[in-house]
Amino acid sequence: MHDSKQFMFLSANNLATTFATSRPIWYRKFRTSRSIILFISSRAAQHSSKSMSLACALAGGPAAFKDVFVDSRHDPPLPLPKKDHSGGDGDGDALTSNPMTGQRLYQGTWVIEGWIPGIVQIQNGGGFTPRRGDVILASPPKCGTTWLKALAFATMARGAHPPAAPDHPLLRHTPHDCVPFMEVIVSGGWGSKLDALPSPRLLSTHMPYSTLPASITKNPDCKIVYICRDPKDMVVSMWHFLRHPRPNLSFNDMFELTCEGRSLCGPFWDHILGYWNAGKTMSGDEGQPEMTSAAVLFLRYEEMIKDPANNVRKLARFVGQPFSAAEEETKVVDDIVDLCSFEKLSSLKVNKAGPVVFTKYPRESFFRRGGVGDWMNHMTPEMAHRFDALLQSKFHGSGLDLL
């Protein structure tokens, strides 16, 4: 059975309880028909990843990357860093290292060395080919990436995976295993897997806008959703995250690195302004979209914390999947917000044990606090004043106020 936009499926495990709900009769019948389809497709997927891809494509939503291609028992390790990289800016900056954080400077941005081969390959047109309907989630590290991945996946995949389903992919996989980082996957030699994903594809990146290839930034068929947060909170979150591999990293050192523009994927001000300015230039003289480049939706973490439901609606409209009146009536938006809440995700066993696919970072390191204002527990008044002055200097005249 169809709605006006797409197929919508429900897990067969929920078939019996569907009739016991208080939903309208049309809705119960609707969900039941989807149960049968998903049951069949999921059984077929046990034997063929192509079957899973087809099922998700028919459902009108993205497939969870790990559901389709990766057996968790055989996750390949992250490639070892290489000593030399092609594709630098001609000044040898790809070889400038930051031993404190294990990064290298590539085209003006500090990145994990193991990512550089993938970034170079993507820039050169290999490992990833953009296509119509692609949605790319972009962010500086530690700015709400995990939450955005969960919300975007639950929103876009609600046809194949209703958010209230007991076997939803986000209950079985960490959000990073549902929505992969392009540069990490391509660096690992799995770029062909990205090309094999069904449309619409939901992917992510920490790459600055300036390092994205024109095949993405000048592509009117691609959409970019960007999230940033109060940079002072970003510093604190980054410090806690990097202490997993580098327990001796002090907060003072992390603060100084950030102020110098040497934090992960920094300078952070260039990262934020790149996407902010790209979003600002999407309007023509009369405020109409100019279909000459990828559209950019700019989100603020603090605003999403205050009003997650309306930000989910904004996200859905942007990706071309607005919620129908029937979905609003049956509280689908609320179901998505509940499924993706920090309390829900951080309590799941899948987000506590083992590393994120293709990385050595523990899953639990991506779930620490889920709030705002933690910088007040770490920065002295002098540090906060210095950082605010830096923000005023870097963002002056941009129209973006992060204070």
Give the CA-trace dihedral at 379, 381, 384, 388, to 10 degrees. Answer: 170
* Residues assigned a catalytic role: 206
Report pTM.
0.78
Question: With 60 as the cut, is the pLDDT of residue 29 above it?
Answer: no
pLDDT (tens digit per residue) in 104-163: 999 999 998 888 999 999 999 887 889 999 999 999 998 999 999 999 999 999 999 999
Q: Where are the domains of the chain?
A: 12-395
The residue behind tokens 């990843």 is 49
Residues near 82 by Cβ (< 8 Å), separated by ≥ 6? 113, 116, 117
Of 179, 227, 187, 194, which is closest to residue 104 (Cα–Cα)? 187
12-395 under CATH 1.20.120.160, yes or no: no
pLDDT attached to residue 362: 56
Report which DSSP code applies to 136.
E
Q: What's the mean pLDDT when you consider all of the chain?
A: 77
